[in-house]
Every structure is written in C-alpha cells, then in structure tokens.
Chains A and B, each alone.
Chain A
Amino acid sequence: SQQGEEDPQALSIQEGENATMNCSYKTSINNLQWYRQNSGRGLVHLILIRSNEREKHSGRLRVTLDTSKKSSSLLITASRAADTASYFCARTFGNEKLTFGTGTRLTIIP
C-alpha cells in the first residue's frame, strides 16, 4: 500500500498528559504534514515539516522527522479535552498530491 502507517491506531490518555503518535512511510518525501480531524468533519492543517528538517514546533505541538527511518512523530504536550480527534500524517513526493496515513484516534479523558 502507498499509505503510511500510523501507530497507535487509537490512544486514550488523561488530560494534562503528553500524547505521541507515529507515522511511517515507504517512499521518499518532499515534505510531511500533520492534520487533525474532529468527529468526521474537515481536516485542519497542523504543521508541515520538510525532508531537510528534523524537528518543528508549533505551540504545544512538536513534530520530528527521521528520513533514514522513514518515520515521523507528533507530540502534543499538556493535552486538553479539545485535542480529542483523529490525527493523520500525509506526505508528498514529486508532485502536489497528498498520500494520507491510516490515522490515530486520540481520546483525552477529562
């Protein structure tokens, strides 16, 4: 499959804890992006990391990229109930098309 694989498929944590999601892929990339989707609605773009970058931060989000291992991780620190959502990684290579991973369903327990 061209899709990336994300793990875990589902994650439940207590509010205030950190959540880590991982994304693996099989081919080369130009960049890798993370999106959030609340309850089957539209996707919200969170962060983009380019193939020559190793780490990026945005607020409580931290994304790392290891091109040698073909993997990326998304860390959400100090989680909140509003972070409950599905999180998808998506990669591009060679053109503008996005290839999405399988997604991680995150539940924050108040």
Chain B
Amino acid sequence: SAVISQKPSRDICQRGTSLTIQCQVDSQVTMMFWYRQQPGQSLTLIATANQGSEATYESGFVIDKFPISRPNLTFSTLTVSNMSPEDSSIYLCSAQGGDRGSLDTQYFGPGTRLTVL
C-alpha cells in the first residue's frame, strides 16, 4: 500500500492567519482527498484534490477558505485560510488507486492537528 506523510504534524496558530498542510505519497496515486475531523467527531470530506485542475469541494466547504493544490500524482496541499478557533481540527489527507494502491481502498496520512487561538 502507499505510504503517506503529512507536514506539519501539528501547529498552533493565531486567529486570522493561514496554514498550508502538505501531503506526500511515496508512489503515484489516482485520487487524493482531504478530510477534517473536529474534536471527538468523525471524518468529514472537504474536497477531492484533482491533478492539474481545480479541486472538487463538498457542500459546506469553499475554495476561498480551503484552497487546494495538486501539482502532480504524488503531492497535494491544503491551506486553511483566515483561521478562527472553529477551524481547530485534525486535517487528514488520503490517497487511492495508482501504482501500489487498491482502486477501492483509501489510505490515510498521520494527520495534522491544528489548534487556533
């Protein structure tokens, strides 16, 4: 299976600032996704990161708040913009398909724990 890393693993940020989270996969994958997990909650899909085109956002999430890039088949970034305390969550990327991934199974990175003061 693909191995996924995320940077940073955690951060504490001030209200009104932005943070960019990086997701790196050790092999080429077909699809990449970004999720948010609020404290004590389940995972909610933010968007599908499309290689070479704009991300596809789920209801309730917008590009201005969560801009996403995916310049190639192994890398993606998620930016949390103009942060407020309500953005304090774990942000996870996942990958599916490709050289070493199953078409059906999503593999997850270790997550980025964000605290906004």
Contact = CB atoms under 8 A, between A and B. Distances in A.
Interface of A: 3, 30-31, 33, 35, 40-45, 48, 88, 90, 92, 96-103
B42 A42 contact: no
A33 B105 contact: yes
5 contacts: A42-B111, A44-B108, A48-B102, A88-B42, A88-B43
Given A31-B104, A100-B43, A40 B31 contact: no
A43 to B, nearest CB: 4
A98 B113 contact: no
Given A3-B42, A88-B43, A96 B31 contact: yes
B113 A40 contact: yes
B106 A45 contact: yes
B73 interface: no
Given A35-B108, A45-B105, 5 more contacts: A30-B104, A33-B104, A41-B110, A48-B105, A97-B33
